[in-house]
Chains A and B, each alone.
Chain A
């Protein structure tokens, strides 16, 4: 059994890679992809802790996996709405450059 800190370190590395992508990418879709990477990094950390604390008696066993299930559903809804917003933005402006999109008035 691989110790939990290894999984947490991997999750932290994925989170930092995703945040670098959010900060450096210019296209809105690429920013979205990096946000999905960060969400998956958090999911990995939660599942690793669920394995460690499974049946500890404090909470029901595998609560972390139920939480990750819900996070997955939330990410799916977020992607659907976010990509819908992107498509409707793209209908009016040709580029999805986030530097230009920062002046969008809503």
Chain B
């Protein structure tokens, strides 16, 4: 229960941060914090495979894409962020404390391995179980998601190509954006 309360607080604070921050980079990083707290919540909900996928796909790919686009478009916040002189030493100190804490805990904490029934309970939500489900009962949905991802890739590449001034125009020397839009 304590873990749930801590995770819920982090998630709600991160969510409020997404909505509140003026700078887009701050809001995106706040969403990353929320997604990581959500991944830990998945672990407590016996969804271990989903927790790993959440970190890899959502926090690791989708949010990185968001940050790329924010920095590529140079999206301006409402007002510039002030430069805080104490931020860098604080970050170094926090990283040092975290690394030391994890390292010391790894060597000092000699908790016994989980008992057999706890190991059995942790079998739920493993990659093997979710994968078996996806490939047996929901294989049609799985294949359709593959088609959807292929469509997304083609759409994203064509969207990136259209604005390219070096790309050849549609016909008769005109850009004709309406014609290209009618494909979609």
Chain A interface (Cβ within 8 Å of chain B)? 2, 6-7, 10, 13-14, 17-18, 20-21, 24-25, 27, 29-30, 32-34, 36-37, 40, 43-44, 47-48, 50-51, 54, 60-63, 65-66, 68-70, 72-81, 83-88, 90-92, 96, 106
Contacts and interface: CB of A to CB of B under 8 A. Distances in A.
Contacts of A75: 58, 62
Given A17-B16, A27-B75, A77-B152, A83 B57 contact: no
Interface stretch (B44-52, B81-89, B91-99, B103-111): B44-52
A2 B47 CA distance: 14
A85 B54 CA distance: 24
Give chain A's interface secondary structure class: helix
Interface of B: 1, 4, 8, 11-12, 15-16, 18-19, 24, 27-28, 31, 34-35, 38, 41-42, 44-47, 49-50, 53-54, 57-58, 61-62, 65-66, 69-70, 72-73, 75, 124-125, 129-130, 133-134, 136-138, 141-142, 145, 148-149, 151-153, 155-156, 159-160, 162-163, 181
A76 B155 CA distance: 13
Nearest to B149: A77
9 contacts: A20-B19, A33-B18, A37-B15, A37-B34, A61-B124, A61-B129, A65-B133, A78-B152, A106-B181
Contacts of A70: 138, 141-142, 145
Contacts of B66: 29, 32-33, 79, 83
A20 B57 CA distance: 25
Contacts of B124: 51, 54, 61-62
B156 A81 contact: yes
